[in-house]
């Protein structure tokens, strides 16, 4: 049994009883990385020297009366689009392959205050654009359950590292499902918080009105602790919300009696395979047995979410990625003939195909004569999708459905078909458009591959989501099953 099979609370107890050292946890992490990383390929950069120094300092601190952080001594990984001072941050792109940030993202500062140990930076789809981790400029991360399959994306490295037992938990970012979809594919727990709950300062922007940082863990309880540590108002981020951060772990009562659950018929319809659909119906029976009630509802505008999302996110990406020009930082083409040539060649050589595809789509949607027809129309659809959710939440506590339409697909299976690849996020995208919180928890298997249950909550009501997810988790044993690498 690995130390990472224990929960944070159990490990803390062992550390405080002096039956376990922080250096033991860090040793376990790098030992496991040595055993499986050549197969999984979740990490882009390791920070071993600094991690071991931090662990030694924490071992000395345990003997003092000083107050310990919420996540004291816990080893974790950070997605490579979250900046870390002095630790390379590439966004899995050639254009940033040698970028060493001079400051920490707010979430990284908060984790330092919580006294975690950063093991390294995790692979992803380039600039968070993708659903399979096949768009990284450096390596393809593999699914620990089946090394021939994708781990999901864009936070594929973050989910795979937790599933493979390389770290206790990790941070990902979610623009259209990029935490929840890989969590579902890798059989772990992934939370996308309410937009504004967690600071985006230091997250390299893909689509600023949609991006949100969130935790990926083995259990719902650990997820609640990690979200607790990174949440809160940040003066460095104008979109961060001035909303009190509750004690999320206190919501894990296991009691869902009388809870009203909405199940959108659109989330169990065409495109969702039978195994995924059945796993949700089985999960609803479990929740019914715990005293919750559910009814079918409709989110009529969700069928337009995919089109609206790709127009809006690509438009924002085309603006955000204009800063990568070969002048200030990042890759610069050798021997340009002029300034314009420098811009063109640096971007052409530095960006991958998927990033170029989205920049071109976004630039088109924002261009004169097309703005009203595409970008503005997509914003209007976004408002209708938001209203659908608000209408349902006027009568129900949470919404439940599958996280993904299928289990993980094979590497290379959809890479030449962007539309099929985009459709993988069809069940997760509506939340980002509305800014709502949602979690994916393991709820079943299809031919040995994990499936995820998605629980969606009201604005800033992550506590209710955790309550439902934890009650379901305690009544089942899907989260206890681990891949055999």
Flag whether 286 is in a domain: no
Tell the residue number behind the tokens 């500062």, with chain if given: 109
Flag whether 267 is in a domain: no
pTM of the model: 0.96
- Read off the CATH number of the domain in which 62 is found: 3.90.1300.10
Task: Find the radius of gyration of the CA atoms of the chain.
Answer: 21
CA–CA distances in Å: residue 194 to residues 137, 152, 210, 271, 431: 30, 22, 10, 27, 9
Distance CA 66, CA 77 (A): 26
Flag whether 462 is in a domain: no
**Can you list the residues of the chain whose pLDDT is less than 70?**
419-423
Asked, as a colleague might, if the bond just before 459 is cis with ω within 30 of 0, I would say no
Distance CA 477, CA 187 (A): 12
**Domains identified in the chain, total number:** 1
Q: In what helix (H) or strand (E) does residue 173 lie, and over which residues does it extend?
A: strand 169-174
DSSP code of residue 374: I
Distance CA 31, CA 75 (A): 13
Q: What is the pLDDT of residue 275?
A: 95
Per DSSP, helices labelled H in 255-366 are 274-289, 305-320, 339-350, 353-366
Flag whether 224 is in a domain: yes
Question: Across-strand partners of 449?
Answer: 446
Flag whether 335 is in a domain: no
Q: Which residues are catalytic?
A: 79, 154, 178
Q: Strand order in 438-446's β-sheet?
A: 43-46, 117-122, 75-79, 169-174, 212-217, 189-192, 438-446, 449-456, 398-402, 260-264, 293-297
Flag whether 485 is in a domain: no
Tell the residue number behind the tokens 């990568």, with chain if given: 324
Distance CA 252, CA 225 (A): 11
Tell the residue number behind the tokens 């994306």, with chain if given: 153
Flag whether 138 is in a domain: yes
Flag whether 269 is in a domain: no
Tokens representing residue 5 in the block: 């099979």
Q: What is the pLDDT of residue 25?
A: 97
- Residue 198 structural domain: 3-255
The string of pLDDT tens digits covering residues 428-482 is 999 999 999 999 999 999 999 999 999 999 999 999 999 999 999 999 999 999 9
Q: What is the pLDDT of residue 420?
A: 66
Distance CA 301, CA 21 (A): 52
């Amino acid at each position: 049994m690995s130390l990472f099979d224990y929960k944070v609370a159990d490990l803390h107890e062992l550390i405080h009883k002096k039956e376990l050292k922080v250096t033991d946890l860090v040793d376990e992490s790098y030992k496991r990385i040595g055993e499986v990383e050549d197969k999984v390929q979740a990490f882009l950069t390791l920070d071993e020297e600094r991690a071991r120094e931090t662990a030694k300092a924490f071992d000395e601190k345990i003997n003092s009366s000083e107050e310990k952080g919420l996540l004291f001594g816990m080893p974790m990984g950070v997605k490579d689009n979250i900046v870390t001072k002095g630790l390379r941050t590439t966004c899995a792109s050639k254009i940033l392959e040698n970028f060493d940030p001079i400051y920490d993202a707010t979430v990284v500062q908060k984790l330092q205050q919580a006294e975690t140990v950063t093991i390294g930076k995790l692979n992803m789809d380039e600039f968070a654009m993708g659903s399979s981790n096949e768009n990284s400029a450096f390596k393809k991360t593999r699914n620990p359950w089946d090394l021939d399959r994708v781990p999901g994306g864009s936070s594929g490295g973050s989910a795979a590292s937790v599933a493979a037992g390389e770290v206790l938990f990790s941070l990902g970012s979610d623009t259209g499902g990029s935490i929840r979809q890989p969590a579902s594919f890798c059989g772990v727990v992934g939370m996308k918080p309410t937009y504004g709950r967690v600071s985006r300062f230091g997250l390299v922007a893909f689509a600023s009105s949609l991006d949100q940082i969130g935790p990926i863990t083995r259990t719902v309880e650990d997820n609640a602790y990690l979200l607790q540590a990174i949440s809160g108002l940040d003066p460095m981020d104008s979109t961060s919300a001035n909303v009190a951060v509750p004690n999320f772990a206190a919501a894990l009562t296991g009691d869902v009696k009388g809870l009203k659950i909405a199940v959108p018929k659109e989330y169990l319809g065409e495109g969702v395979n039978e195994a995924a659909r059945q796993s949700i119906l089985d999960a609803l029976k479990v929740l019914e047995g715990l005293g919750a009630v559910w009814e079918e509802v409709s989110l009529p505008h969700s069928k337009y979410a995919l089109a609206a999302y790709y127009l809006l996110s690509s438009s924002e990406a085309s603006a955000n990625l204009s800063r990568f020009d070969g002048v200030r930082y990042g890759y610069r083409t050798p021997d340009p003939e002029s300034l314009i040539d420098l811009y063109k060649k640096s971007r052409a050589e530095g960006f991958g195909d998927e990033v170029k595809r989205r920049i071109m789509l976004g630039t088109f949607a924002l261009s004169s004569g097309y703005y009203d027809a595409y970008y503005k129309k997509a914003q209007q659809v976004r408002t209708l999708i938001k209203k659908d959710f608000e209408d349902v939440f006027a009568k129900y506590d949470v919404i439940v459905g599958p996280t993904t339409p299928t289990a993980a697909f094979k590497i290379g299976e959809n890479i030449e078909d962007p539309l099929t690849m985009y459709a993988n996020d069809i069940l997760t995208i509506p939340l980002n458009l509305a800014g709502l919180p949602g979690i994916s928890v393991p709820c079943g298997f299809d031919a040995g591959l994990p499936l995820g249950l998605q629980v969606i909550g009201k604005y800033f009501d992550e506590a209710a989501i955790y309550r439902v997810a934890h009650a379901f988790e305690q009544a089942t044993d899907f989260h206890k099953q681990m891949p055999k690498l």
